[in-house]
Amino acid sequence: MRISTSQIFDNSVESMNNSLTKAVNFQQQISTGQQYSKASDNPYAVSWGVRLSFDKNRLSMYTNNQNSVTASMDNASTQLGSMIDQMNQLTSISVQAQNGALTPTALKALYQQASQIATTIQGQATAKDASGNPIFPSSINSVQIEPGVTVDSGIKTSNAFGKDLNSLSQADLASTSESAITGKTDVLAKINQFVAFLGHKAGIPAYASNTSTLSDVSSGLTSAYNQLQEAQTHSGLVGSLVIQASSAVNSLSTQLASTTSTLLDTDMAAATAGFTKQQALLNAAQALFGRLQSSDLFSKL
């Protein structure tokens, strides 16, 4: 079969174009770090890449939720821990108040100490975080911290203290009346009742009509203490779940990153070798084309 000069010429040009195209593709993979520049390059791999990207975004959502819950629960736990310590002081004052030999001056000192503790606890119960939001909010949400696992976003004020403290005035917070939600103890009311009891014993005129007994106020302090303990325990349990979820999400994130890299990222060694090979083929084709152009064959055919 006779091979014409034009066929050799066309083949040389086609070879150069193919090598140049492949070299450019490899160079793009190396510079971008991505195997594919468009979906049509590999529809299967790219579609899976989109799905993996969605999964990675969802894991980021879990991580954000974990961070938010951790901050909320840490703030609540710190406040509750301090309040529980002060409740222990109130219990100690309650025991001291049972000493029948105490003078009015000593009783007044106990009253003043208890009153100061009550004011401090009231302030901590209605404190706000660095963002200006209540540490114990009026409402909480259920947030997902890993696939299939949801937790409370914080410690609800009514769950910890028996009522929504954020909706009350300072006078209501200092009140001894009880209007706790069903099944809960009005913590501040129990503390204020104890202070009123001590005020009555110390002869403070404002509490002259107080009729509470030591048994009643001691029982109230115990109920308040237990409720605060339960709230702190709940915050600790949620914190433990978040730690476990964080570990699980980090593991999933690592797996997703590895899978995504395998599907979409450039294999630098292979791309570099391919680029080098195509460059060599391109150089060879160019050299051949140059020789063909200078050949006498072109001038004869």
Q: Residues 204, 66: contact at Cβ < 8 Å?
A: no
- Give dist(CA 133, CA 126) in Å, integer: 10
In a domain, 33, yes or no: no
* Same domain assignment for residues 193 and 294: no
Residue 276 has pLDDT above 80, yes or no: no
Q: Pick the more confident residue, 52 or 100.
A: 100
Which residues, including other chains, have CB under 8 Å from residue 115's CB and lie 6 or more apart? Answer: 195, 198, 199
Structural contact between residues 69 and 153, judged by C-beta atoms closer than 8 angstroms: yes
- Could you report the per-residue pLDDT of 210-256, keeping only the tens digit for each? 888 888 999 999 999 999 999 999 999 998 888 888 777 676 656 65
206 and 279 within one domain: no
Does the pLDDT at position 86 exceed 90?
yes
Lowest mean pLDDT among 12-16, 76-80, 122-126: 12-16
Rounded to the nearest integer, the mean pLDDT of the chain is 78
Supply 177's token pair: 């009346």
Residues 229 and 274 in one domain: no
Which 3 state secondary structure label does DSSP give 139? coil
- Give domain status of residue 197, yes or no: yes
Does 291 lie in the same domain as 216? Answer: no
Flag whether 29 is in a domain.
no
Looking at the structure, tell me whether residues 233 and 171 fall in a common domain.
yes
Same domain, 300 and 158: no
Report if residue 9 sits inside a domain: no
| pLDDT band for position 284 (cuts 50, 70, 90) | low
**Whether residue 278 is found in the same domain as residue 258:** no
Domain-located, residue 209? yes
Note whether 160 and 300 are same-domain residues. no
In a domain, 35, yes or no: no
Q: Which domain holds residue 287?
A: 268-301
Q: Are residues 204 and 95 in the same domain?
A: yes
pLDDT digits (tens, 9 = 90+) for 261-270: 554 455 555 5
With contact defined as beta carbons under 8 Å apart, do 84 and 228 qualify? yes
Q: How far is CA 73 from CA 67, 208, 240, 274, in A?
A: 10, 41, 11, 54
Phi/psi-derived region of residue 2, left when phi > 0, alpha when psi is between -120 and 50, beta in every other case:
beta
Six token digits for residue 146: 């890993």
Number of independent structural domains in the chain? 2
Tell me the sheet residues that pair with 151: 143
Q: What is the CATH number of the domain that holds 179?
A: 1.20.1330.10
Q: Indicate the helix (H) or strand (E) that contains 143.
A: strand 142-146
Q: Is residue 96 part of a domain?
A: yes
Residue 84: per-residue pLDDT: 96
Q: How far is CA 25 from CA 124, 254, 261, 284, in A?
A: 64, 29, 18, 19
Residue 290 placed within a domain: yes
Residue with tokens 């006498």: 296
